[in-house]
Amino acid sequence: MAKLSKRRDSVVISQLSPLVECGAYPAKRIVGERFRIEADLFKDGHDVIVARLLWRKKGEDDWREREMHHLDNDRWGADVVADEPGEYHFRVLAWPDSFQSWLKDLRKRIDGGQEDFLTEIEEGRIILNDTALRAATAKSSREADDIESITTRMMKTPPADVPGLFDDPEVAALIARWPDLTLASRSGKKLRVRVEEKRAGFSAWYEFFPRSAEGLEGKHSTLRDCLPRVRYAREMGFDTVYFPPIHPIGVTARKGKNNTLTPEPDDVGSPWAIGNENGGHRSIEPALGTIDDFVWLVNEARAIGIEIAMDFAINCSPDHPYVADHPEWFFHRPDGSIRYAENPPKKYQDIYPLNFHCDEWQELWQEMLEVVLFWIDRGVRTFRVDNPHTKPVAFWEWLIAEIDKRHDGILFLSEAFTKPKMMRALAKIGFTQSYTYFTWRLTRDELIEYVTELTRGEMRNYFRANFWPNTPDILAVPLQNAPPSAFKMRATLAATLSTSWGIYSGYEFCENDPFPGKEEYNNNEKYQLKARDWNAPGNIKEFIRRLNGIRRDNPAFHFYENVAFVPFDNDRIIAYYRWSDDRSNLVLVLVNLDPENEQAGTVTLPLDEFGIDHGAEFQVTDLMYGDAYTWRESTNFVILDPASKPVHVLKVR
């Protein structure tokens, strides 16, 4: 007969969550955010199960403990709030509790009319004596004496009154502190959660081209000219300013205005075609200034609460120093020439992509790491990564891990508009935030389905959506030749459906001129200097400022998963609410999805979820426009006029 080498677990522990790729990658949460660790717990028989969540920060020796509570159908959970960034490890400890199982059965026997309890009371005495012994062994003689006193009282109490002795919470807690763990089970695989600083999950981005910072016709601005524009972004409530690449721009195959192949002598080229005789990824375009100018700007921006995000674009112009020094890092055609970038039918003759699978891949990967570290040393804490899906996932996993070993709090935004599984993989392996398909989700049903997928499905554990209604590459259809109401509508959706959002400059002026037949801007700023009157009439700067202020001042918008949709009997209006962790802050958002016409209908509110009594009057205050309304019951009539009030952002009191 086979001999068992050791006792098997008595309690089955399975289906731990949040678990990303079976624990291969940590789930993501934010400092101060309450999150739940769950597991299925069950065993043979009818014993009462008790469970503890064990957790500690990576590198700590001692485990902290938290009681787990039964949720439903053998599902258990415990809530945790981490007060500092870092990677946290979790395990579940569960056991059949002999005392509680005995007490439960005793109550059943009493309720069932049993008369003889001699054996049951003796079983209880033995269990309590063992409990006292465990306390004494742990050198807690006072608590051991207290347990013995309780045992003595029990033996003198009529059996029918014995359960009442243990209704005292202090007595119950005393006994619970000394459980019998002989049959305890412990989850084998630790569950990991990466807790990051708040800006990793809550942020507002503003993108502008430094070379057009002053908005003067034909004038190339410098990095020092950018400070007023950074302040301008701050005044609108943004906390992150993102610059397209600021490195030297190639001359060979330089693109002209509107991506033409025949540039004029004064054309400035695409900043994504990086590198010329003045340097590559560790250099600054001379027309912008110097590295010292950049460091100065980063420090000035941080002093007013703005982080400067650098574009990490792994592109090389034909003039990049890498081409001469490391031709082996590039793709080559059969004739030996270096292949330029293509995304058929698009051609990027001014860009040579690097081959991350070349024979010298280790040297190439190391060089890219050194580039990121170079800019971190000069104050950059945020990187917007250009097209990461065109480089190996393994490269990003390695690079981000190497950065994490050396520096805390470095944020990476993935600009990967590509297949869903690649976008998810990049988020799993370390990207802090991700661009999304929000730009192309237009109808109410599309928005509800997509946001539900992001915040209710498994993606919520690792994919942090950053919603952008426009980018330099994308003038989406809803904004083409559209009125200001469309820009207000899409901004409100982006800013209130996710905890991070961003706009590319010109959005506040409702720039809406498309290149014919494409989702792109005409006279695209990617290829030319852009003249703008930064105080032009007809702008929606005040609307955006108020929108960002509402987000900042209401904790309901700080929690990624806390969004729920409510019924509205007109599909041209979308309605949803967000809430703070303690439900003290609750905001209802209604958006007219029709930028041309007034829409109206009835919203149906979940009063029980809101904590409002049926029949009671309650007030909602429009945080955007200042109006207050008195509502009653769950159904209320709403009108949204795109010309005056295309949205409601209602604080529920």
The residues annotated with a catalytic role in the active site are 386, 415
Q: What are residue 576's DSSP bridge partners?
A: 565, 589
Cβ within 8 Å of residue 299, ≥6 positions away: 379
Q: Which residues, 6 or more positions from 421, have their beta carbon under 8 angstroms from its beta carbon? A: none
Within 8 A by CB and 6+ apart from 295, the residues are: 378, 379
**Angle at CA of residue 360, ends 375 and 418, nearest 5°:** 65
Query: Is residue 247 within 8 Å of 273, Cβ to Cβ?
Result: no
d(CA 381, CA 527): 27
The structure tokens listed for 153 are 């009282």
- Token couple for 488: 């207000």
Residues counted in the chain: 653
Q: In sequence order, what are the beta bridge partners of 241?
A: 206, 308
Contact between 305 and 237 (Cβ < 8 Å):
no
What is the Cα–Cα distance from 209 to 199, expressed in whole angstroms? Answer: 23
Which tokens go with 517? 């037949």
- CA triplet 301, 33, 376: central angle to 5 degrees? 35
Which helix (H) or strand (E) segment is 607 a member of? helix 607-610
Q: Which residues of 295-317 are buried (b: 16+ CB within 10 A; e: fewer)?
A: bbbbebbeeeebbbbbbbbbbbb
Omega prior to 18 cis, within 30 of 0:
yes
CB-based contacts of 333, cutoff 8 Å, min separation 6: 339
Cα separation, 71 vs 38, whole angstroms = 9
Examine residue 334 and say whether the peptide bond preceding it is cis (omega within 30 degrees of 0).
Answer: no
Pairing of strands 315-316, 191-196: unpaired
**CA R_g for the chain:** 31
Smallest CA-to-CA distance from 429 within 6, 7, 12, 28 is with 28
Query: Are 515 and 258 within 8 A, CB to CB?
Result: yes
**Token digits for 386?**
């250009």
**DSSP letters spanning 300-321:** HHHHTT-EEEEEE--EE-TTSH
CB contact at 8 A, 77 and 38? yes
Tokens of 381: 């804490």
Q: Are 237 and 545 in contact (CB under 8 A)?
A: yes
Q: Considering only CA atoms, which of 574, 564, 571 is closest in space to residue 606?
A: 564
Q: Which two tokens stand for residue 393?
A: 């996932």
Nearest to 378 by CA among 487, 517, 259, 284: 284
For residue 472, give both structure tokens.
Answer: 């330099």
Cα(206)–Cα(223) distance, integer angstroms: 16
> SS in 3 state form for 27-47?
EEEECCCEEEEEEEEEECCCC
Residue 403: what residue type? I
